Amino acid sequence: MKVTINDVAKHAGVSIKTVSRVTNNEPSVKQATIDKVNEAIKVLDYQPNLAARNLAGTKSYVIGFVYDNPNAYYVIDMQNGILSSCKKLGYDLLIHPCDSKGDNICNELTTMVKHARLAGLVLTPPLSEDPKILKALDEINANYVRIIAGGEVKDDTGLAVLVNDKHGAVSITQHLIDLGHKSIAFLSGDQHHESTKERLAGFTQAMQTNKLPVESNNIISGQYSFESGVNGAKELLKRPQSKRPTAIVACNDEIAAGALFAARLEGLDIPNDLSIVGFEDSPFSRQTWPKLTTVHQPTQKIAQIATELLIAKRRSTNDERAKIFIPEPVIRDSSSKVKPSLKN
C-alpha cells in the first residue's frame, strides 16, 4: 500500500501542512520538526508526488534548463549540477534543448515557461547573452538566472553566475609565454558566444603585456567543435615550418583535441614540436594523448550555484545576486618549453 502524506504526518506527530512545508523546504520550520518529519519520511520510504504538488499548488516546483550547445560533456555536467540542487531543494528539472538562432526562439521559451508553469529558468550561453530573449522573458516576468562570461558584476548583470574567461585565457597564454613561446596562434570558438570574445581578449592581453605580436593570420575563426580544431590546425600547419606558430591556444578542449589530432597526422611530436592548450578541463582534455594542458572550469559547481541562487531569489531567502568563478590553468603534458630550433 502506497505511503501518503497523511501517514508521514501521523508518524511524525505533526500536521499535514507541516509535512508539506518541510518537503517544500520552506523557511521558518524548527530544526527539531524538520528532523522528525525527515525521519518519518525515511522510515516509511515516502516519495512525494512532485507532479501532483505542481498541479495542486499555487507555486511551481519545476526548474527549466535551456541550452543550445553541441558539447555533450558541458550539457551533462550542467544537467547534473542543476539536478543535484533541484533534488536538494525539492524541485523537479525540465530539460529543453533549442536552436538559439531560430526565428521563433523568444516565443518558444515564453510559451514553455507559461505552459510548464516553471518556477525559473537556468539560461546558458548563447541564450543567456541574447538581449532579445532576456527582454521577452522579462515581459512575462519570468524568473531566470544567467550563466555568462565576464569578470565584473554590473548594475544590469541581474541574477547571474559569471565565469571570468578572460582571466583564464590570460593565465594559460602566459604559461606558454613563460615556456619561451613567442609565436602563438589562437583557435576561436563560435563568435556569438561571449566566452569566445573574452578568451580572445585574454589571449591578446597576455601577448601585448609581454610585447609579443598578435598576428591576424594566427587568429583562426571556428566553432566549438573537434572538426573546427582539426581544420584550424591544418590551416596553420600548411605553412612553411619557419612561419608556423610554436604553440596554440584553443578556445575549448574539443578544439584543442582536434588540433592535436591534426598535428599528429602531420607527424608532429606534441609537445616537443608544437604545444597545444585548451580551455574548460572537460573529459576531452584527459582522453587525448598526451593529456591536455587546459583551464579548469567547474561546470557542475557553476550549475549548482546558479540553481541555488535562482531558488533562493524565489523564496526571498538570499539577497545575493551574482557569483564570479575564476578559471585557473591545469598543467599537463601537451605544453613544454619551446625547442631552441623553433625559436624565432
Q: Which CATH number does the domain housing residue 30 bear?
A: 1.10.260.40
Phi, psi for residue 296 in degrees, rounded to 5: -75, 125
Determine, yes or no, domain membership for 56. Answer: no
Do 317 and 337 share a structural domain?
no
- pLDDT for 26: 64
Determine, yes or no, domain membership for 53. Answer: no
CA 82 to chain centre: 11
Domain residue limits at 283: 165-296+330-342
Do 190 and 312 share a structural domain?
no
Determine, yes or no, domain membership for 83. Answer: yes
CB-neighbour burial class of residue 106 (10 A; exposed 0-12, middle 13-18, buried 19+) = middle
Determine, yes or no, domain membership for 55. Answer: no
- With a cut of 50, list the residues of the chain below it in pLDDT: 51, 54-58
Determine, yes or no, domain membership for 111. Answer: yes
Helix axes 5-12, 16-23, angle to 10 degrees: 100
Grid coordinates of 10:
501521523
Do 273 and 169 share a structural domain?
yes
Instruction: State the total domains in the chain.
Output: 3
- pLDDT for 1: 63
The helix or strand, by DSSP H or E, that contains position 250, with its residue range, turns out to be strand 247-250
HSE of 193, CA atoms in CB hemisphere, 13 A: 23
Question: Torsion angle, CA of 225/198/290/228, rounded to 10 degrees?
Answer: 20
Do 289 and 214 share a structural domain?
yes
Do 227 and 115 share a structural domain?
no
Determine, yes or no, domain membership for 216. Answer: yes
131 and 138 Cβ atoms separated by less than 8 Å = no
Do 313 and 269 share a structural domain?
no
- pLDDT for 55: 44
* Distant-in-sequence, close-in-space partners of 304: CB < 8 Å, separation ≥ 6: 81, 82, 84, 85
Amino acid at residue number 187: L
CB-neighbour burial class of residue 102 (10 A; exposed 0-12, middle 13-18, buried 19+) = exposed
- pLDDT for 241: 87
Do 139 and 44 share a structural domain?
no
160 and 146 Cβ atoms separated by less than 8 Å = yes
Could you give the CA distance from residue 85 to residue 83 in angstroms, rounded to a whole number? Answer: 5
| CATH number, domain with residue 259 | 3.40.50.2300
CA 247 to chain centre: 26
- pLDDT for 59: 62
- pLDDT for 341: 65
- pLDDT for 24: 63
Query: pTM of the entire structure?
Result: 0.80
Determine, yes or no, domain membership for 228. Answer: yes
Do 44 and 89 share a structural domain?
no
Determine, yes or no, domain membership for 54. Answer: no
Do 290 and 172 share a structural domain?
yes
Do 99 and 16 share a structural domain?
no
- pLDDT for 266: 93
- pLDDT for 268: 96
Distances (CA, A) of 138 to 113, 121, 143, 145, 260: 12, 12, 8, 12, 43
User: Omega into 70 within 30° of 0, i.e. cis?
Assistant: no
- pLDDT for 343: 61
Do 259 and 171 share a structural domain?
yes
Longest dimension (CA), the chain: 81
Do 176 and 158 share a structural domain?
no
Tell the residue number behind the cell numbers 614540436, with chain if given: 273
